Structure 1
Amino acid sequence: MTVHSRPGSRWKGALAASLVLASSVVSGLAHAGPTLDKIKERGTIKVGVGTTPGFFAPDSGGKWKGFFVDYGRALSIAVFNDPDKAEFTNSSPQQRLPALQSGEFDILLSGVTVTITRAFQLGFHFGPTVFYDGQGILVRKDLNVEKAADLDGATIGVQSGTTGELNIADFFRKTGKQFTPVTIEDTGEFINALESGRVDAITQDSSDLVGKRTQLKKPDDYVVLPERLSKEPLAPAIAGGDDRWLEIVNWTVNATIQAEEWGITSQNVDEFLKSEDPAIQRFLGVDPALAQAIGLDPKWAYNIIKTVGNYGEIFDRNLKPLGWDRGYNRLWTDGGLLYSPPFR
């Protein structure tokens, strides 16, 4: 027997179901996961970083500065509305992944490459790629080499605990060339090995090598070869089990990218508060509906851009002085790979 319900009862049933769904969403937003709970209870975000000029390095006064450091400050603004609630700690490539697993860090902003084994075997979650990199080789100019294959028979320094170990071995195996690897753990010794002639070249992410070149006594005697041996998408890494923390990381990064796409900078963001574009109104908190829906301060994105800047400002402030070109790290509208999902 078919029961014909009245239109009014169907509407009421749909409304009731919608209210239950809305209630569950709000409840989910209000409940932080274990990492975010610890962060809020502690009052600081523990951030693992490295030591590469332009990306992360303490200044003469001991204050951390750099591209990835600015993203730590942006996260601090999103969570605490204060850029100085991020606590940065240098950790070596060998130590940083176990430290994240053990809970010593809330997040790694140390130039971690996204890999499938780190996701499945180590249980890490990754935020958006913030820097598209590739493995390079730094060599002495007097070797007169133009490409990696010219280093047949060379001695090459590799840093243990990085993706670079496998990449360089794969490259030489694929090309049928020979090399002698020298595994080095200490970052300082990595540079010394090249300067002393212990190795002919060193290999790492090109982002690291550009910074390390500036630390050499005679940087003009060395060159980073133009080719890249691998894809190295660098992203924030967190331990699994806290979806709320992951989404804060995701949308903090996305906010800096979206702001650049709209032309919103730290200098003109106040002018954009007058924009009649509803998407920009939601983004900057003029219309608080979006922030209320996701459970963040209505001005969270505004405060990030006002204090830290958009992606382009972060890049230009920290990396442009080192001679870095945007390359793949341009906006998608400029032929690059940076792209933010919609803020709605």
Structure 2
Amino acid sequence: MRFLRWIVPAALLGLVGCNWFDADGISQSKPNAENVLASDDLGRFANDYFWEQFHAGNYDLVDSVLYYLTASYTDNPNNLETVTHLGFAHVWKLAERARLDEIPPTIIDHATLNLKYYSESYDMNPRDPRVLGFLADAQMTLGSINDDGRLQRQGWFDGQQSIRQWPEFNYFTVGYVLSAQPHTEKRFQDAVDWMWKTLDICYCEQVDRDNFDIGPYLPLEAQETDNRRLRACWNSWIAPHNLEGYYLNMGDMLVKSGDWERGLMIYELVKQIPEYERWPYQELLEQRIANAQTNVERFRQEVERGQVLDDNQVMLFNTSVACAVCHEFSEGDHTAYEDFNPLDYFREMNIYNLR
């Protein structure tokens, strides 16, 4: 029998506790967030390893990411960073399943675990509207898989609450999932409108829907003092190509709605983004520009469960790069962030909204 060898100092795995049942704590609920960023050796390794592989787009290593994060969770189930990243890692495994040669039925287990960890994260820290948005997505996704209308409705209402708390972030978070809805559904049409509303908030005025140009708004980044808008509206270490991915998805949604000429306008704007030259997915954009009118019908076709289609024939949400398009680092990104300290960034930008 072959045993998988995990590349990690054995001493770290020795830190995982074996006290699975604590009778004294049987009546206690999960505590509020404390020690937000993992500081023990195993926890720090596991969370850093998550970012290393996520930024590299190493989908083939998601299982090892889950292994270390789960080992850290077993040792300390009350660390907010670890719990939240477990939610991220499970949704990554599910979202980019089109990378697999064959999608196994067991892939849906990641939807269940995604909901579990986002629920725990939000219970520990209900002040984080990001996680409420992610939780809403998890509820709608699992509700759809399980044909559970009540869970889907709960996700919709939690999504609305998350949008009220942080619209420029969660219009996209919730709208991205709704981009998979049929183009005739009101919720899909609402999500298209949310993409425009996000731009209105980010650029502090109602943008021109007919002749939108990102160029005049790009200088706003250097002038921005609101951390929430900096995080949601621009590129960052967490998502070095947030803007490129946002506009590509927005273009897809407009094309699917039938407004392919406006979608083409949005696609073309991506090339003005300063970080575009180091974006790994320029070819995906070019294919969409070349096939915008043809893609109206392609994007409207239902993707069957377990079906894998070419990335150029499906909405971004259903591609093999549904996460990587915003989060994957190129060589140029590694150079740009060479001296960057992510832990300092998490604290300075109040990533978990704890103050």
**Which of the pair is proportionally richer in helix?**
2
Relative CO higher for 1 or 2, CA cutoff 8 Å, sep ≥ 6? 1
TM-score by length of 2: 0.22
TM-score by length of 1: 0.23
Higher radius of gyration, 1 or 2: 1
